[in-house]
């Protein structure tokens, strides 16, 4: 455990951290990649270019300093990050590298304010937190490997099918090359794919939500082609049926967890429908008895993925209802046939489906999720019943 003096010294640096802001973690990443370029094979460099990862790390560092007297408050964040780390196959020895660069960054940016006492306190605090992550991640690795169909590291999968779902999203059905079972997952979790391709400067790992219910033999991911996205475009354009992809076992703490008699509302925008599709398929396969409401928003009919699949499920499941918003419908998009509402999602239009005892799962762009959260709170849904996933670096809504 950390002694009180260490905690007090760390807390005393909060004004310094806040004054530096994300520039602190931007410097940290630049320093780390300069001295340890091999870590470019581990980190998602796209998130460095957008600035999302430095901001997320800064928020995590600041939250740790502010809650160092009450680490239980960080339990959910630790679990989320530990799952992310297992998807990137983070190793215990890498924590020492990160810690060294973090302390060096504090010294380089903090100047005289960062004394040896401050460095010692932050070194102890970082080491304590690193041990928590190392131990939790070891548990996750071991638990997954011990399950039927489980494995450690990467495993070779064959692209068994490649299916366009819309103009921007394509599904990849992946089957293990060895023909053995695959470990079960909980709907909402993601799969990490590791690509080492001649068109990539570094090995790249990306995490994609699983978009179908677990079946013990294959996985399905549905990938959006991102403008300028090296990995997504590579998958869309070059990976075909029969190609091999290295895969890390499923992970993630955004999971479907609800009783059969509890109503469920699944809300998504754009590619955020991928974990929702997995949840929906699981609910229906388990004969969920309560109402299920599917809410989806996208640009137009050309970008509407799984449209026919959802219609078919609604036609044969009386407890399933769906509502679709198109932001700017095409001339060929038919109201009441292809979509229900135009513009952005306004839950007041379906207020009868927003019941206070339901569990709400939502995923999509940050702006969409912030709006959904505020609308649900405004409709008297308790915050404890709201569950969401951010693609990429985490952000609070």
- Read off the tokens for 140: 């996750």
Alpha-carbon distance of 121 to 117, in angstroms, equals: 6
Residue 328's CB: how many other CB atoms inside 10 A?
A: 9
Phi-psi label, residue 230: left if phi above 0, alpha if psi -120 to 50, beta otherwise: alpha
Question: Given 29, 137, 219, 326, which residue is catalytic?
Answer: 137
- Rounded to the nearest 10 degrees, what angle do helices 116-146 and 4-12 cross at? 110
| 139/77 Cα distance (integer angstroms) | 17
383 an active-site residue?
A: no
Report whether 275 belongs to an annotated binding site: yes
Q: Confirm whether residue 179 is marked as ligand binding.
A: no
58 is in an annotated binding site: no
Residue 88 annotated as binding?
no
273 known ligand binder: yes
Strands across the sheet with 244-251, in order?
204-209, 190-195, 244-251, 154-164, 169-176, 219-224
Please count the other Cβ atoms lying within 10 Å of the Cβ belonging to residue 261: 9
Does the annotation place 382 within a ligand binding site?
no
The annotation status of 85 as a binding-site residue, yes or no, is yes
Q: Is 64 marked as a binding-site residue? A: no
Q: Is 390 annotated as ligand-binding?
A: yes
99 known member of a binding site: no
Find where tokens 């996750």 sit: 140
User: Is 206 known as a binding-site position?
Assistant: yes
Judging by DSSP bridges, how do beta strands 154-164 and 169-176 pair with one another? antiparallel
Annotated catalytic residue, options 95, 141, 326, 361: 95
Active-site residue flag, 95: yes
Is 158 labeled as ligand-binding?
A: no
- The answer to whether 80 touches 60, Cβ cutoff 8 Å, is no
* Residue 62: both structure tokens together: 């600041």
* 291: Cα separation from own chain's centroid: 26
Assign 322 to helix, strand or coil: strand
Q: b vs e for 57-82, b when ≥16 Cβ sit within 10 Å of the residue's Cβ? A: bbbbbbebbbebeeeeebeebbebbb
Q: Residue positions in the annotated binding site?
A: 85, 190, 206-209, 270-275, 390-393
Q: Residue positions in the annotated binding site for NADP(+)?
A: 270-275
Q: Residue positions in the annotated binding site for FAD?
A: 190, 206-209, 390-393
Give the active site residues. 95, 137
Q: Residue positions in the annotated binding site for heme b?
A: 85
């Amino acid at each position: 455990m950390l002694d009180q003096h260490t905690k007090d010294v760390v807390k005393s640096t909060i004004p310094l951290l806040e004054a530096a802001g994300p520039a602190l973690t931007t410097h940290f990443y630049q320093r780390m990649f300069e001295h340890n370029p091999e870590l470019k094979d581990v980190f998602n460099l796209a998130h460095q270019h957008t600035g999302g990862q430095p901001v997320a790390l800064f928020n995590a560092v600041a939250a740790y300093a502010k809650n160092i007297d009450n680490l239980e408050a960080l339990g959910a964040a630790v679990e989320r990050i530990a799952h992310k780390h297992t998807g990137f196959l983070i190793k215990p020895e890498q924590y020492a590298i990160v810690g060294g660069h973090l302390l060096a960054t504090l010294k380089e940016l903090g100047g005289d304010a960062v004394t040896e006492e401050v460095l010692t306190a932050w070194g102890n605090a970082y080491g304590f937190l690193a041990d928590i992550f190392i131990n939790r991640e070891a548990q996750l690795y071991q638990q997954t490997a011990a399950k039927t169909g489980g494995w450690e590291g990467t495993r070779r999968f064959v692209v068994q099918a490649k299916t366009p779902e819309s103009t921007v999203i394509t599904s990849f059905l992946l089957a293990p090359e060895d023909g053995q079972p695959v470990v079960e997952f909980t709907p909402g979790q993601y799969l990490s794919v590791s690509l080492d391709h001649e068109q990539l400067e570094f090995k790249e790992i990306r995490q994609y939500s699983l978009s179908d219910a677990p079946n013990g033999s294959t996985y399905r991911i549905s990938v959006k082609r991102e403008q300028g996205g090296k990995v997504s475009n590579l998958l869309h354009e070059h990976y075909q049926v029969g190609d091999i992809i290295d895969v890390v076992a499923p992970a993630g703490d955004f999971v479907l967890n609800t009783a059969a008699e509890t109503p469920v509302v699944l809300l998504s925008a754009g590619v955020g429908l991928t974990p929702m599709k997995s949840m929906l398929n699981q609910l229906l396969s388990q004969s969920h008895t309560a109402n299920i409401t599917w809410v989806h928003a996208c640009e137009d009919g050309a970008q509407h993925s799984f449209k026919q699949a959802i219609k078919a499920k609604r036609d044969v499941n009386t407890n399933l209802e769906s509502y679709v918003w198109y932001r700017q419908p095409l001339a060929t998009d038919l109201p009441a046939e292809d979509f229900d509402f135009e513009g952005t999602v306004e839950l007041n239009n379906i207020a009868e489906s927003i019941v206070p005892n339901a569990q709400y799962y939502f995923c999509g762009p940050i702006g969409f999720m912030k709006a959904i959260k505020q609308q649900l709170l405004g409709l008297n849904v308790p915050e404890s019943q709201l569950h969401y996933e951010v693609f990429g670096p985490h952000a609070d809504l």
